[in-house]
């Protein structure tokens, strides 16, 4: 997928001028003449060709990451049969989602490490390394023998690989968002940063499509035996392409300016907790709706529809796929809206809508009508984009350049570790304990209340220049 070619004309609707000396940079598909600056360029003077590669490099890493999480979530029932064949269906599903959640517990540690690398060594270096580790770990899942072959070592190996994935993924979303915001024109930071959640949705979309195709074309025995492994094999080539694009880029103008002034901070995480703790707390709260909503609506929903509402797997995947297509379009509209109306106004609107509408919408899912389910998923996705499409620029602007990567990575991964990765598990457990199919809706509503309070306490950041220190 090449979003840079589709979006660059829309995003770079401003004049560019070259600064410094001319050079030729090798890029995928041939050599392209670009301007190599002798000093860091201001965001409004950066060549559109550089921005195209920045958009593509930021897109593909998140795409690979969330493609893996999508496949794991959408094929959870099949994976449970391969790694926990002796458990009953619901227990096996809980164990599978438990492994999904465990991989998130290491993400705060990854946030500290990748934030330190990104703020001290550079955004490009952190992103180039993280995508390599992520792709290798995802590819490895396809090669793990099932429980029937190696017994208890099968789920143990899967756990180890998931932990490696969680660690490497911790720097991806935050780094790509900071990279785009620091390269974006000042009045288009929201739109540029929206590329990151769009890439996550695109990864989920491909995962959903592949899951639907596999369920249609393979027999149950083929699917359980080897079919579920096929999507994970795609991670290796996609990751290598993403790394190639990233190593060809320069670091952001904002980070290079700090380097030129010899003002790169030596201990960014320590400075974050000492000098920016209030912003960190607000960021963790603001991320909560994104963490729970993303995994419940876009990852857990096919499993919810098939196991709790007894819809066919193909219908469940089809509804999610269509909803994801509309979600990607809404994301960019939200980015534009946040540039025009401000980050706080859009984020507060999202929280209020979830508080008011989530439970009624979940009640409609039980009507048994495919058309109603499709409409509900589209509406829930549109509501979520108001948060998802705004959050990357909001978080990146909340912290100064010296600790931007660390602040974003720590807050985003901490909230996702506690509430995001556990969301499918908690939703399944709440249904089992309460006997109510509306339990995931109430959980989403509670998350929206917390995010509403956090965003209301934050400052508006969309019109202010990026802080350096």
Please report, in tens digits, the pLDDT of each residue of the chain (469 residues total).
444 444 444 454 443 333 333 333 333 334 333 333 445 666 557 777 888 888 988 898 788 877 877 777 677 777 877 887 776 666 776 777 777 677 778 889 999 999 999 999 999 899 889 888 888 888 888 898 888 888 888 888 888 888 888 888 888 889 999 999 999 998 999 999 999 999 988 887 888 788 778 878 888 888 878 888 888 888 788 888 888 878 888 888 899 988 888 888 888 999 999 999 999 999 999 999 998 988 788 777 777 777 777 777 667 777 777 887 898 889 999 999 999 999 999 999 999 999 999 999 988 887 777 888 889 889 998 999 999 999 999 999 999 999 999 999 999 999 988 888 788 788 888 888 888 888 888 999 999 999 999 999 999 989 888 887 7
Structural domains present in the chain: 49-246+269-456 (1.20.1250.20)
List the structure tokens of 444: 């989403």
User: pTM for the complete prediction?
Assistant: 0.79
CA–CA distance, 251 with 268 (Å, rounded to integer): 18
List the structure tokens of 66: 């969330």
What DSSP designation does 42 have? P
Q: Is 336 exposed, middle or buried (0-12, 13-18, 19+ CB in 10 A)?
A: middle
In three-state secondary structure terms, 23 is strand
SS (H, E, C) 305-320: HHHCCCCCHHHHHHHH
CA–CA distance, 440 with 448 (Å, rounded to integer): 13
């Amino acid at each position: 997928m090449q979003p840079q070619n589709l979006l660059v004309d829309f995003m770079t609707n401003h004049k560019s001028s070259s600064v410094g000396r001319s050079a030729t940079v090798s890029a995928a598909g041939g050599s392209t003449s670009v301007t190599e600056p002798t000093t860091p360029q201001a965001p409004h003077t950066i060549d559109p060709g550089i921005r195209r590669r920045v958009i593509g490099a930021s897109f593909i890493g998140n795409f690979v990451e969330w493609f893996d999480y999508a496949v794991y979530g959408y094929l959870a029932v099949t994976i449970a049969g391969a790694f926990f064949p002796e458990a009953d269906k619901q227990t096996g599903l809980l164990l599978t989602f438990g492994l999904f959640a465990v991989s998130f517990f290491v993400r705060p540690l990854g946030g500290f490490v990748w934030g330190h690398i990104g703020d001290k060594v550079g955004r490009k270096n952190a992103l180039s390394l993280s995508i390599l580790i992520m792709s290798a770990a995802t590819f490895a899942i396809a090669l793990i023998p099932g429980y029937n072959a190696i017994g208890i070592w099968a789920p143990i190996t899967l756990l180890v690989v998931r932990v490696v994935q969680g660690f490497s993924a911790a720097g991806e979303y935050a780094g790509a968002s900071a990279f785009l915001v620091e390269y974006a024109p000042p009045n288009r930071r929201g739109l540029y940063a929206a590329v990151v959640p769009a890439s996550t949705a695109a990864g989920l979309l491909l995962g959903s499509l592949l899951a639907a195709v596999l369920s249609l074309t393979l027999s149950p025995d083929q699917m359980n035996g080897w079919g579920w492994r096929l999507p994970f094999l795609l991670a290796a080539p996609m990751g290598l392409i993403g790394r190639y694009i990233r190593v060809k880029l320069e670091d952001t103008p904002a980070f290079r300016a700090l380097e030129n002034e010899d003002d790169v901070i030596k201990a960014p995480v320590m400075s974050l907790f000492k000098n920016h703790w209030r912003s960190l707390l607000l960021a963790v709260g603001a991320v909560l709706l994104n963490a729970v909503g993303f995994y419940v609506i876009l990852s857990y929903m096919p499993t919810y529809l098939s196991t709790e509402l007894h819809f066919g797997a193909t219908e469940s995947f089809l509804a999610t796929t269509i909803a994801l297509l509309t979600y990607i379009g809404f994301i960019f509209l939200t980015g534009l809206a946040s540039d025009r109306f401000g980050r706080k106004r859009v984020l507060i609107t999202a929280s209020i809508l979830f508080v008011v509408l989530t439970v009624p919408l979940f009640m409609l899912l039980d009507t048994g009508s495919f058309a109603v389910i499709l409409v509900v998923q589209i509406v829930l996705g549109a509501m979520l984009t108001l948060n998802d499409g705004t959050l990357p620029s909001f978080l990146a602007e909340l912290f100064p350049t010296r600790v931007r990567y660390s602040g974003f990575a720590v807050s985003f991964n901490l909230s996702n570790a506690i509430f995001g990765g556990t969301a499918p598990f908690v939703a399944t457990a709440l249904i089992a304990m309460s006997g109510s199919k509306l339990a995931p809706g109430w959980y989403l509503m509670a998350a929206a209340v917390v995010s509403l309070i956090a965003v209301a306490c934050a400052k508006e950041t969309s019109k202010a220049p990026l802080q350096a220190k």
